Amino acid sequence: MSHAYVVNTHEAIVDANKDFVSAFGKGDAAGVAALYTENGQILPANVGVITGREGIQGFWQAVMNMGIKSARLETVEVEDFGETALEIGKYTLCGAKDQVLDSGKYLVIWKKDSDHWHLHRDIWTTSMPASK
């Protein structure tokens, strides 16, 4: 007997974030980059827009090389438009002793590709005070 298995988009996004956190925690920048769409973009501070998985991998590798060992993501809000979803959440980036090195908020445009949600546009800002 077939069994309809329905996952709502909010849960699907939370699950996709678990994949992000898992790959990040392994230091697997290629695995993180693979969670983005082929033409995915990140919009980090202090550089221009970075497009495509190769560039995205390089960015996250550089972040890991700076000593950031793990990421935590907390979904705050999801809006679902079928093949597109919007997520606002909070992130925390930690060092080797699990100390918080950065925390802030993010907005991600997700795209659904067959059964999988991929990050398509990803922008975040630190909530930590500016260094003087």
- Contact between 123 and a copy of itself per CB under 8 A: yes
Handedness of CA 48, 88, 91, 114 (dihedral sign): negative
In terms of CB distance, is 15 or 81 closer to a copy of itself? 81
Q: Which stretch binds a copy of itself (CB under 8 A): 2-10, 12-20, 57-65, 83-91?
A: 83-91
In terms of CB distance, is 4 or 47 closer to a copy of itself? 47
Q: Per-residue x/- marks for a copy of itself, 45-64, CB under 8 A?
A: xxxxx---------------
- Contact between 101 and a copy of itself per CB under 8 A: no
- Contact between 72 and a copy of itself per CB under 8 A: no
- Contact between 107 and a copy of itself per CB under 8 A: yes
Burial per residue of 56-84, b for 16 or more beta-carbon CB atoms within 10 angstroms, e otherwise: bbebbbebbeeebbbbbbebeebebeeee
CA atoms within 13 A on the CB side of 131: 1
Q: Cα–Cα distances in Å, from 96 out to 3, 12, 20, 66?
A: 43, 29, 18, 11
Q: Which stretch binds a copy of itself (CB under 8 A): 5-13, 53-61, 76-84, 93-101?
A: 76-84
